[in-house]
Structure 1
């Protein structure tokens, strides 16, 4: 069929179908990238702003000049311009929705609305040792106060022995239709969030297990469940803290994660007094339901509270039993696949959001943690009940939590919670030298 006839047929297609038909063959790709086709689509989607009801002579002249200059543009120029404008428009809409902030957490307050309007989701790309890729769509999603938990499960996982890496992407439809709900079909923008190595996973120490699965933790914030019998993938769970999650999920590329803007140090007016007026929001949940959701205000530490390169910030003091907090409900990490479900009793998800004295997020994390029996001596704790602890550490700080199991009421009480903030993190934040 002559190219002129094909171009005439293509002129009746919208942007999505035009992009799809360009995948048929090399000839169709070049024809479907024609500038005359795309400049009409671009002009219809992004008309020039007008000051009155009718176009003035100047606007008509601009349009005519644009049409005359089509032959001077390289092939596919207006297609690229249209896609770039659509992506920028979607990102702008998301940026407006994330502006309202929750006063308790300092994080976006309209996360569910952002996900509904933008169609934002997350996928896994499994890469085997030969370089072949498999894309796994999310199966379940839950939104917590300070994080999003995304779960993937199914029956078509590739064999674990053949896999080398897992890549986590944020995905968002490029074309937004205000009259339709976003779908998984069509052109989507992929933004790389994190890459994880699977080499030797089954030989590492699991963070917990039950009768069916063993679970492993891959930093940052990924839980991998393996079937006990076959040592194959059962499910994957990602725990994504809301701090700058929308930017990381929409502004990266397929190969490069989003780079955070350079940090400008905040002026510390009275550095000799240490840290003052900090606020902590901590969540402990099982991926679906929360059994601790508390905010602690007016936290402080003296400049002398330095231990091994960390500044100590006491949140719950063991000596003050009025500060002790109970955990509500069944503690454990819930998991589910197409057929089975269970709960890992020793594991949970911990979300930590620490705000500085100006209300800015200072340290944010969302990670699986393991509850283990405490070995440090404490006569009072032994009198109350069996003592447990939860520990977390990364490059920016540490979290230590002591819990006591009260047999009579069958519940855990947090009797101590301490944050250890890295001096290097504090110096970078304030531009000072502790």
Structure 2
């Protein structure tokens, strides 16, 4: 004969069997049966767009004969008792079933036990009396006086903080050439970090897409999404780029595929900004558009529908931006204190620039320039000007490797958009600290003025990239004899804000 606890566990098991329905509340529209499990939390991989799920029902909507009693019909007191035996991961998943289970799974008495068991200084075995004693030691606020979900939120924040603490020693070593973390790949692997895009329709309906490809180099990460089930572009309003991290990690084991994940907003884009002014190139199949910061959107030329999306993220604070934000608010970098220039009369000095031009793992340019300086008063349009490559000095000119082009692919076609690529810019100040870090798609455009040097008889072009912190202008000349582009001028502009003066 089963004991009281055995019967309760049996009921719990039958109830969980009944809950075997898609936990897709993460992407549900407001007012639907699906409900999010909390800010920034999703219950695992989302369902395919348009996929419908229904409960098995018998005649007149009643449960079928093969199904156990519905958990919905049980009193809340009984359900709370059942939920008290679940772990944190299961509770987060149950909270995505519907509104009622969301509120039940937020119960502070359940979560304070989980919190105190996981993070108290003194660890206890899983016994009700011992856990209650531990709960009292951490209950700084009365459970009744706190809002529902308070201790769930505290538990999740503590989990993310623990991950951050574990990543600090991994991200501390710095690459001596770029001034950036040298073990970013290891940090990504350790955290289980990935990226998703969330496409929101004007009606509020959301589509979540996991990234398909990822390319990483010393300065940036390029993330690609493509597929056959894109929603109609005309119905979409915004695109959110988010980092997703498993809330629970059991190192060194890899994270479970459908485990609850923390979502951190990296950037939000308005798809209404896609216009001819943002187009940077095309081939026979697609047109590509750049949305700042660092997003590339490919549209099929025939139907003007989404073909692929490509995000370019600089490595500087990449992990922090992809983990430590929330689902609706990006992570804000703390302002970096700048030391005063010890010789303000001589302008800036000792700066360093690292430039990468690449596409799908192929590098056209990879160069580092040391000891950059500028004289006092060399300011244009509110920015300090530093000349990196002088047009008059041919010994400084650099060739681009190979034919410049941005490769793309989907599950039905591939191609290459000529004269486009990805550019990573990393500027270090005189103390070797990152000053301006930028990654974005760029394109070569016809130069407004041809070089005056008679040796350059071919086509001339320029590349520009800019954001609020700085700008870079590059001029190139095409040499017919060698059939290659040469960088004949490179000028860097840095914003006055933050410059040590």
TM-score under structure 1 normalisation? 0.88
Matching of residue 182 in structure 1 with residue 252 in structure 2 = no
Per the alignment, residue 243 of structure 2 pairs with 170
CA gap 1:289/1:377 in 2 versus in 1, 3 angstroms? closer
Per the alignment, residue 54 of structure 1 pairs with none
Per the alignment, residue 429 of structure 1 pairs with 499
Per the alignment, residue 118 of structure 1 pairs with 191
Matching of residue 225 in structure 1 with residue 288 in structure 2 = no
CA gap 1:33/1:192 in 2 versus in 1, 3 angstroms? closer
Counterpart mapping for 1:14-413 below 5 A: 14-35=87-108, 37-48=110-121, 63=134, 65-66=136-137, 74=146, 76-199=149-272, 201-204=274-277, 206-380=279-453, 383=456, 385-413=458-486
Give the whole-Å Cα distance in 1 for the aligned partners of 2:330 and 2:273: 25
Give the whole-Å Cα distance in 2 for the aligned partners of 1:23 and 1:197: 28
| C-alpha distance after superposition, 1:187-208 (max 9, x if no partner) | 2211222211121624545210
Aligned partners of 1:288 and 1:334 also within 8 Å: no
Secondary structure of 1:380's partner?
Answer: coil
CA-atom RMSD, angstroms? 2.8
Give the whole-Å Cα distance in 2 for the aligned partners of 1:393 and 1:221: 11
Give the whole-Å Cα distance in 2 for the aligned partners of 1:230 and 1:368: 23
Unaligned runs of 5+ in 2: 1-73, 124-129
| C-alpha distance after superposition, 1:202-247 (max 9, x if no partner) | 4545210001000111111111111000000111111111122222
CA gap 1:265/1:413 in 2 versus in 1, 3 angstroms? same
CA gap 1:204/1:300 in 2 versus in 1, 3 angstroms? closer
Most deviating of 73-82 and 282-291 = 73-82
Q: Deviation of residue 258 (structure 1)?
A: 1.6
Secondary structure of 2:486's partner?
Answer: strand
Secondary structure of 1:353's partner?
Answer: strand
Secondary structure of 1:429's partner?
Answer: coil
Q: Deviation of residue 411 (structure 1)?
A: 2.1
Q: Deviation of residue 299 (structure 1)?
A: 0.9
| C-alpha distance after superposition, 1:73-111 (max 9, x if no partner) | 645554333222112111222333221111111111111
Q: Deviation of residue 130 (structure 1)?
A: 1.7
CA gap 1:416/1:89 in 2 versus in 1, 3 angstroms? same
Per the alignment, residue 55 of structure 1 pairs with none
Q: Deviation of residue 288 (structure 1)?
A: 2.7
Aligned partners of 2:221 and 2:314 also within 8 Å: yes
Secondary structure of 1:252's partner?
Answer: coil
Secondary structure of 2:272's partner?
Answer: coil
Q: Deviation of residue 263 (structure 1)?
A: 4.0
Give the whole-Å Cα distance in 1 for the aligned partners of 2:151 and 2:437: 41
Give the whole-Å Cα distance in 1 for the aligned partners of 2:135 and 2:263: 36
TM-score under structure 2 normalisation? 0.77
Unaligned runs of 5+ in 1: 51-58
Give the whole-Å Cα distance in 2 for the aligned partners of 1:60 and 1:161: 54
